[in-house]
Each structure stands twice: as C-alpha cells, then as structure tokens.
Structure 1
Amino acid sequence: MAASSDNMENINSALCEISKEKLTNTHLTTLQTVTKALRDEQLRNSVDREALGNLYAVLSRLYVDFHHLMEMDSQEEGSLCYKLTAECFRAHRNACVQCTQNQCCLRDLGSIKLSFEILAKLLKISSGGSNDIYDALRCGVQFLGNIAVGNQLCKDDIWELGFPHIFRDLLELPDEKAVSYTCMVIHTCLDEHKTEQLVKDTQQLKLSLKIMDLCRSLPDVDWTIFIATQHFLKSSELIRKMYTEMTNDARLTLLELILAQLGVAEKEKDCLMPLSVAQFLASCFTDHCRAVLTLSSESSDDQAAMVVIRLLDILCEMTSDCKEFMALQDHAGLLSTTVDLLKEVHLLGKTSKNVFTAAHDFSLTRPGGADTHPVFGFKAQLIRLIGNLCHSHIVNQDKFEPDES
C-alpha cells in the first residue's frame, strides 16, 4: 500500500478488515503502513472522515478485545493486542499533527474518551512490567498530547477525563518516557483556571505535589519544570498549600527552582510570580528563620536550616532592585526579624566555637572547607537583605540602628 494521496480507498479497506477479522501479525503490518502514511502532511490533510472513522473502529475493536484477554489470560494473544494498540495510537497520533480538522473529527468520534478507557485498563495490568504494555501506554499518552495541541475543546475534554486520578496513576509508572509524555499532556492542557483546580481538595493537590517530586527525582524531564515555572508559580494559593504540605526536602526542591528561575526572569525581564507568592515566602522566613540557629549544634536538622538559608537567598534576589517585589520593603516584621537574627547569629558565634564563629576552621567538621558548609555566607546574606530593605526607603533606614557590639 503506497503512502500517497490516491490510496485512501486501500487504507479504508485495510482498516475495515482489522476491525472485523481475527487479529494477526499481518494486521500489525497494515497498521504500521497506515502510521507511516500519516506522516505525510499532504496525505494527512486529505484524510476523509471515513478513514478516521475506520481508524477509530480499530481502536474500539482493540478495547473490546481487552475484556476477552483478561478473561483468557493468553500471553501470546495479549502481546499482539498490546502491539496493535500501540500502533493504532501511533496512527491516531500522526493523524493529529498540526491538523485541526483531524483533531476535531477524532474528538467527535469519541477517540479521547475511548483512549482514556484503554489507558485505564492498561494501567491495571501494567504492574507486570511488560514492555508491550508500556509501549501502548506511551503511544496513547502521545496521542492525547498531539490531539490537544492548539485545540481548546480537546484540552478541556482531556482534562475532564484525566484529572486527577488517571494523570496521577500515569505519573506513578516506573517508566520515565510515559511519565514525561504525561507531563507534556498536563502542561499542554493547563491554564489559569485548571491550575486553580489543583487546590480544591487533597486529591487534586496530590497531583501537583507529585509533579514537584518529579522535579527532584527525574531532573532530565523538562516538562515538570515547565509546569512548575509556567503555571504553579503563578498561583499564590497553590504555592501556599503545596509548601504547607511538603517535607523540607520537597520545599528545598521548590525553593531551588524559584531561585534558579529568578535569574532567568531577570534576564528576560519577565515577572516570574505574583507579589503574593513573594510575600508568602517572606512570612515563611520571618516565622521559621530561627531554625538556622540549630546549625550550631552537632545534632542539628540540616534540612530545616537549609530551607531558611534558601528563603534568605530568594528574598535577597527579590529585593535586589526588582520593582515587582520591592513592596517587600514594607512587609511586616521582615526587616526587624532579619536584624534580630543577625544579632543572634553574631552573638552565638562569639559565645562558643561553632559554624557561626567568625574565625572558622571547618576542616574538622565538613570535608572541603568553610565554603562547602551550608551556612557559608549566611551572615553576609542577612546584611545584604537588610541593605536591600533599606535602599531608598527612608522609613526603614530610620528604623535600623546598627549594633555596636
């Protein structure tokens, strides 16, 4: 079957056979040919509704076969069915590439709903770790990604059917490609309204927390970073609720991401997040900053202290003449808390030999020397924040009286 615009009749005939006959490897070869043909832009744009309807009929047939396979537990027939399902999803995926007409047609036929029903069944049997099953899952998610691009109706359908449970189940898969493709779909579908849905209850919030966890555990998956920076950070309510539920490890991941993105936003002259997020982080610092003092003890909680250190780093960046966040100069208690903490750190370093002592020798406590200790430069950052909060701010300058001790 030649991959050209004049073989539509042959494609239709072949697809009709697959939807009605007992499945064989010959049908797999036929589907692979259809998938390849749909890579051609000219043919893809000329595909008629009948061909797409036949393609949908094949997917429907495969869905029905899942019921029989689960009852018979036939490994050989199962493998062929999974391979055919993956290939059928590939054909669907290729049909949707930059083709709104095909996206809308497949949506009207019910391909999105059917795809989620198949994905749900595949997820139930994925624990066996069969590569054929994972391949079908990957291709199914890729199809959802392609049908969603540039098509708001498809995005809304996918979100309604996948959020939050199927998305979360897909993100729990021990398959990095499937997880990456799922994050791609979530990123494509997300908008301001859908982001706000993430905070409605515990189940929704779990999805956002899982995505943040993937930022740490799968650093090579860029889609998680895009979701966090382009959507999560723009919602102060979501950031507040996530931060409250997070472990200190997870908080550090979020804070490191914010710190990195502040530098990017500064270069691009783009506001990364609303002022309300910055104000929340400032409150977290003022409420918990004394946790850093535990670093003077051998039995300290490094993670809680590191959270304070990262919060300070972020506040320093935000108040470094960044007009979107300079309202932090008026944040209740931020200046006085920072001054008091500097005094405590200075006094603690004078009263006993510890990490806050001016004449450090960290070689005995941490390999690599002083500059590898998490508290390195902490006092300098406190002074920097005080300077930033007082810069061109007469009221704060009048409040601040340096300690002469």
Structure 2
Amino acid sequence: MAMAMAMAMAAAEPLPAVAAAPGARLESVRALAGLFREAQHREMAKESVFQDLLEILRSTSSEIEQAYKDSCELVDLDTSLLLIAECFRCLRNACVECARNQHVMRFLIVTDYFLKCPELVEALYAKLSNQERVTLLELMMVNVCEKNLHTNEEMNVFMRHADFLAGRFQEKYEAVLKLTSAEDADEEALVAIRLLDVLCEMTSNNGQLEYLQTLPGLLETVLDTLRLTHLAGKQTVNVFTATHAVTGQEEVLHPAVDFKSHLIRLIGNLCYKNKENQDKVYELDGIPLILDNCSIDDNNPFVNPWAVYAIRNLTEQNERNQELIAQMEEKGLADNSALESMGLEIEKRDDKLILRSVRKKPS
C-alpha cells in the first residue's frame, strides 16, 4: 500500500529540472511512463506534469537541432533521443482512455515545436516502436491539416518531412498485406496506413502539391500498393475484398477501411494537372486498375467518389488516356454504368471514340 501511495505521489510531482543531466531526466520520464499504464495514475496526473514534459521536449529538441545546425557532436546524443522517445511513450500512456490528458497532448502537438527540425523527427522516428510511430504520425497529421506554409523556411521543412515520409511508405507499403491473414491489426501495417493518410493530406494542399508530384518513385509505389491489395482481395476473402452488405449498413471498424480509397485519392492528387504523372499511370496500366475498383465496397465506402476524381485528373487534357478508357468501354472492359456514375460517357466522332463529361440534369 505504501509503495502504491509513493508511486501515485510521484505521478503528481514535477519532473527533474531541464538543467538536469539527460540520464536523470530519462530515468524519471521512464518511471512516469510506467505509472501511466494504470488508470488511477492517469486520472490524477496534474497538468504541471505535462508542462514539465513539454519543457523537456523543447529543451532537448533545441539542443539536438542546434547540434545538427552547427555540425557538431552532441554529448549524450543517444540518451537525448531516447529521452524524447520516452516523452512520447509517456504521453501515449497518459492518453489511454483519458479525454482530459488527450486534450493536453493535442495542445503539446499543435505547438509543433519539434516538428520544425526534420533531422530530429527522422532520428526520433528510428528510435520509436511501431505503436509510437503511429502516434507520431497521427500528431503530424494534425499539424499538416492545420498548418499553412508562408515562409521559405516553413516550405523547406515541409519538403524534408515529405521526402522522409514518402521514403518510409515506399519501404513499408507491403506490410499492409499482413492484414489479409492477421486477426488483429499488425502494428507495422498500421504504420503504413498512417503514412498513407499523412501523404494524402500533404498532397491536398495546392501550394505544396507540385513538390510532392515530383518525389521519385512515390506514384509507382502507390500504384503497386493498389495492385497488390486489389489482387489480395480477389485471391481470398479478407479486408481488401470488395463486399456489399445487402441487408444493412453495418459499420466496419477495421483500420484498413478506406485504405484503397486513399490510394486512389493519392493517385488522383499526384496526377492533378500533371501530364508526366498522367502518362506514368497509363504506362503502368493504372487506369484499368482504378476502373476495376469502382464497384460498391463496404470496406471502401468512398472509393467511387475518389475514383471519379482520379479519372477526371487522369483524362484532363490527355487524349491518350481518354482514348484508352473509351476503347475499354467499347470492348466491354470498362463498366459503362461505372462511367455513367462518374458523369462520363463515350461518344463516337469520325470513327474516333471520345470520352466526354455529361452534365447531369437536376433531380
């Protein structure tokens, strides 16, 4: 009982001063993370504890950032990186089923103090577990959604993050295939899903899109991922199999829900007013693949609108892509009803098939 009381008191006490050695701070934060595994300690944590964590994160990230900028070696660099990782572990534990602490955590991230240093993010990412990486990516998502870039420095930071995240997705995209057999969501697969989510948001801002459209290999990887998951869904019945529940609107809670929709969304974004990427999708047989994913699918409830968007971006001022879809429809390789649902139709002019938009009549 005395031990429990002592631990509870520790959860309410301030952490060591910022001036303390990284090792001492790491030990205290690690102990606090252990305390927050229990609901009673999460509920009784004072806001001052989170402010202390904030100061530790700020000071440690500033020290690492300055060391990178000055190209000098930081004493206890590994300990400092572990300290930041442990702060995230502590925050994650504190937020489990605790709305009050979740609100505080959101405040910490919206300040985005450490996201201003790409080198720090990359070094920290390498130290985190897959579960912690998911948390970090969700926090970066908040930052991307709320951040408008105004200065060259902000844009440079964004480009570094985009390069890094695209690279990690290209490394880990095949991990999502583990979801075809796993009963529980695989943590490595969850990382790939969150990476895709962040990239979708990054490409949704016109001011940042042009840079992302030029990232080497990103479009090819997204197409490969769509092809692999689509094939996996046809080979066996799993989360990537197109399903349609006739009898009810059952909510699907699997983390891979809308994964294929997001892949098609990202393809559409990367091809927006970009002839080179439009042609690349043609050359990689991506257009038939997208059209084959237009059917009603409870696992991807928004797939049709994103397919409409992608096809429009692929065919805009691109006659070769338009002709391909028209030829597919004529040969019965493209579902005419799917094209109609997209507001498109095939018209024959002078022995040439034309894909054109149809203005829908008001209902």
**TM-score band, normalised by shorter chain:** 0.5 to 0.7
Could you tell me which runs of 5 or more consecutive residues in structure 2 were left unpaired when the two chains were aligned. 36-40, 69-73, 96-100, 290-363
C-alpha separation in 1, matches of 2:5 and 2:57: 26
State the TM-score, normalizing by the size of structure 2: 0.60
Structure 1 residues 347, 207: closer, same or farther in 2, change over 3 A? same
Bigger fraction of residues in helix: 1
Given candidates 151, 160, 169, the residue that maps to 2:27 is 169
Given candidates 82, 95, 104, the residue that maps to 1:206 is 82
Flag the structure with more relative contact order, 1 or 2, with Cα contacts below 8 A and sequence separation at least 6. Answer: 2
- Residue matched to 1:293: 177
State the Cα deviation string for residues 174-220 of structure 1 (Å, max 9, x = none).
47336324224336646744545598622111110011112311231
Structure 1 residues 203, 386: closer, same or farther in 2, change over 3 A? same
State the Cα deviation string for residues 14-63 of structure 1 (Å, max 9, x = none).
xxxxxxxxxxxxxxxxxxxxxxxxxxxxxxxxxxxxxxxxxxxxxxxxxx
TM-aligned CA deviation for residue 331 of structure 1: 1.1
Structure 1 residues 240, 289: closer, same or farther in 2, change over 3 A? same
- Residue matched to 1:398: 279
TM-aligned CA deviation for residue 282 of structure 1: 0.6
C-alpha separation in 1, matches of 2:258 and 2:189: 14
Q: Does 1:381 align with 2:262?
A: yes
Task: Name the % identity.
Answer: 32
- Does the aligned pair in 2 maintain the 1:255–1:311 contact within 8 Å? yes
C-alpha separation in 2, matches of 1:188 and 1:292: 34
Structure 1 residues 222, 189: closer, same or farther in 2, change over 3 A? farther
C-alpha separation in 1, matches of 2:288 and 2:218: 21
Structure 1 residues 191, 325: closer, same or farther in 2, change over 3 A? farther
- Residue matched to 1:185: 55
- Does the aligned pair in 2 maintain the 1:292–1:305 contact within 8 Å? yes
- Residue matched to 2:118: 236
C-alpha separation in 2, matches of 1:358 and 1:293: 15
Letter in 1 for 2:186: D
- Residue matched to 2:315: none
- Does the aligned pair in 2 maintain the 1:345–1:356 contact within 8 Å? yes
C-alpha separation in 2, matches of 1:321 and 1:244: 28
C-alpha separation in 2, matches of 1:362 and 1:321: 37
- Residue matched to 1:99: none
- Residue matched to 2:238: 354
Letter in 2 for 1:212: F
State the TM-score, normalizing by the size of structure 1: 0.55
Q: Does 1:317 align with 2:201?
A: yes
- Does the aligned pair in 2 maintain the 1:292–1:308 contact within 8 Å? yes
Structure 1 residues 127, 361: closer, same or farther in 2, change over 3 A? same
C-alpha separation in 2, matches of 1:297 and 1:332: 31
State the Cα deviation string for residues 279-316 of structure 1 (Å, max 9, x = none).
11111111110111121114565222111111111100
- Residue matched to 2:229: 345
Could you tell me which runs of 5 or more consecutive residues in structure 1 were left unpaired when the two chains were aligned. 1-125, 145-157
